[in-house]
A = this chain, B = another copy of it.
Amino acid sequence: MSRERVISLSEVRTQCQKCSLYQLCMPMGLGDGDLNKLDKIIKRRRPVEKGEFLFRLDQDFSSLYAIRSGSLKTYTSQSDGQEQVIGMHLPGELIGLDAIGSQRHACSAVALETTSVCEIPFDHLETLSREIPGLQQHLFRLMSAEIQHDQCHMTVLARMPVENRLASFLIGLSERYKLRGYAANEFNLSMSRGDIANMLGMAMETISRLLGSFQDQGLIQVERKHIRILDPAGLQAIASNCRELPGKPADSSSSHSA
């Protein structure tokens, strides 16, 4: 399944190790042997082109996907046909966690640009995580972090006025980019204004106006999809969201969607 062509052991061994993101999507502190095992179950697949689906709502669940490059959005379709964007996902993040329980995808994942992912068959991962304690622990923590993140997003949606929501979104994005080694204060939005608005529970026009207003206030600089954060502290102050719990010990790595 995972490895058809014949390759040297050292080549196998380095697949995950050479990925600059493996500490994010997968556990820290695994020995070479463990990493090797992990590597063996991962399927690499051709990149997903912009607009293509990685998986679709209601499809049978079999794998988690770790994003290596590019980005995707996930969304559900309401019974009335309306779409609801759930999240935007960056390199180093793991998607599909919500489908484990029902064994069926609860949302669709579509690439926002050319995106490459590692496919991780979940039954193999489950087996492996029984053998590798650190892996099991990491998975629990990842899922927990996702729960915490979603609860934070619920809070944002329930209480905050639109300004705060958008600031919160931008700060969140910035932090996630930083975590993965990209520039924290300068990045490209891969989602359209419409998608961002949808995700934050507001109208596209409002996003447009707010970006303009943030720019006028000297908080950010916008040029189409390109965002530069000029005043992170000021933006943070507007966001004033669920403070990122520093997390006590170890990882604190993960954080999902926006």
Contacts and interface: CB of A to CB of B under 8 A. Distances in A.
Nearest to A84: B155
A130 interface: yes
A137 interface: yes
Contacts of A116: none
Contacts of A78: 155, 159, 240-242
Contact of A151 (B80, B86, B143): B86
Interface stretch (A98-106, A176-184, A217-225): A98-106
B140 A143 contact: yes
Interface in A150-171: 150-151, 153-155, 157-159
A246 B103 CA distance: 10
Of A78, A142, A251, most buried by chain B (CB within 10 Å of CB) is A78
B151 A249 contact: no
Nearest to A141: B101
A254 interface: yes
A106 B154 contact: no
Interface in A128-154: 129-130, 133, 136-137, 139-148, 150-151, 153-154
Interface in A202-258: 240-243, 245-252, 254
Nearest to A103: B248
A201 B144 contact: no
A200 interface: yes
Interface residues of A, number: 60
A8 interface: no
Nearest to A58: B245
Contacts of A147: 97-98, 101, 143, 146-147, 150
User: Which of A98, A101, A144 has the largest number of chain B CB atoms within 10 A?
Assistant: A101
A109 interface: no
A194 to B, nearest CB: 14
Contact of A130 (B98, B130, B144): B130
A32 interface: no
Nearest to A145: B101
A154 B250 CA distance: 29
Nearest to A100: B144
Nearest to A60: B248
Interface of A: 58, 60, 76, 78-80, 82, 84, 86, 97-104, 106-107, 126, 129-130, 133, 136-137, 139-148, 150-151, 153-155, 157-159, 198-201, 240-243, 245-252, 254
